[in-house]
Structure 1
Amino acid sequence: MRHKPFVFFLMLIFIGACENPSAILSDNAKLNIKETLEKLAVDNLKAWEPPFSEEAFLDFFTQTEDFSFAVDGFHITSYEDWVGVVYESMDHDRKSYKTYTDNIEHVETDIINEDYGFVTVDYTWDYTNNDDVRYMVKSIVTMLFRKENGGWKIVNTHCSHG
C-alpha cells in the first residue's frame, strides 16, 4: 500500500508532462501562426486555379521523405512522384475546363506548437467543362504544415471532392 502515493506522484508528473504544447505559446503568437497558415492554405488552393502555376503550387510543399498527399482515394508518398502528378493534372485541367474556381466557405486551424499546425478548408470546387456544363462540388482539404528553414511547408494533405 505504500506504493500508492508514489504511483499517484508519478501519474501527476506524467500528466503535467503531457500538457498541450500550444498552451505555452502566447495568444498573439498563436494568432500570428493561425493567420499565416490559413493564408498559405487558401493561397495553395488558389494556385490550382487559372492560369494554373505548377511551380507556385508545388512551392507550398515539403520535399522531405515524410511528404504525403491523398486525394479522393489516390495516395502519393513521394514528392518526386507528386511533381509529375501536378504537371499532368494541371495540364489536363488547363485543357478541360473553361472556368475553375475554389470558393472558400470555412477555414479551421489547430496550432500544435510553434512548428506545426493543421488547417482544414471547406470549399466548393466550381468549374465549367468544355461542354459548358457547370459543376459545384463540395470539397474539403486538411493540411499539416511544418516550419522549415524559417518558412512553412505542407507535409501531409488529405483532400476529398464530393
Structure 2
Amino acid sequence: MSVQAQAPAAAPLHFNNRRDLPLHRLPFIGPVRGRTQFSFWAVPRTGGYAGGNEVGRGLARIYLKHLKQHGRPQGLGALQWIVLDMIGPAAASALTPEQSALRGQVVGFFSELDAWLEVAVCDLEGGLDAQSDKALLALVNAGLRSEECGEEGKS
C-alpha cells in the first residue's frame, strides 16, 4: 500500500477585529511572509479551481458588505490593491515600462469599478445581507479545504 504525502491544511481565514482600520479587519488582508507591509490578498492558494472559485466568491461578498458598511474612506477603495496582490507583488523599481503601464491600467480600472461598486451596494437591493459574515467565512474556509484536483478552467 502506498501512502501519499498530503500538503499541510491551510489555516482558516478569520476577521481581524482588533485592527484599527476597518479595511484591515477583512479576513483576506494581512501579513505574508517576505513582506513588510500587509498584503491585500493574504489568502492560501489551496482548494483547487472549484474551491478557489468558492473562496473568491465568498471573499468578494465580504468585500462588498464592507463597502456597504464603511464606504471608501477619503474616496480611496482597495479593489485595485487587492487585484495587484492577487497577481503577485512586484517592486515598482523592477518593473519594465510595459509592466508599469499595466499596473497603472489595473489601478485605474479597478479604482473606477470600486467607486461604482460602493454606490451600487448602498443603493441596490441584491440580497447582499442575506448571508452573515460568519456564514460567508465558513464557505470561504470550506473552499480552502477542498481537495479537488484537476478540472482546471471550469466554472
Query: TM-score if structure 1 supplies the norm length?
Result: 0.32
Bigger radius of gyration, 1 or 2? Answer: 1
Q: Which has the higher contact order (CA 8 A, sep 6+)?
A: 2
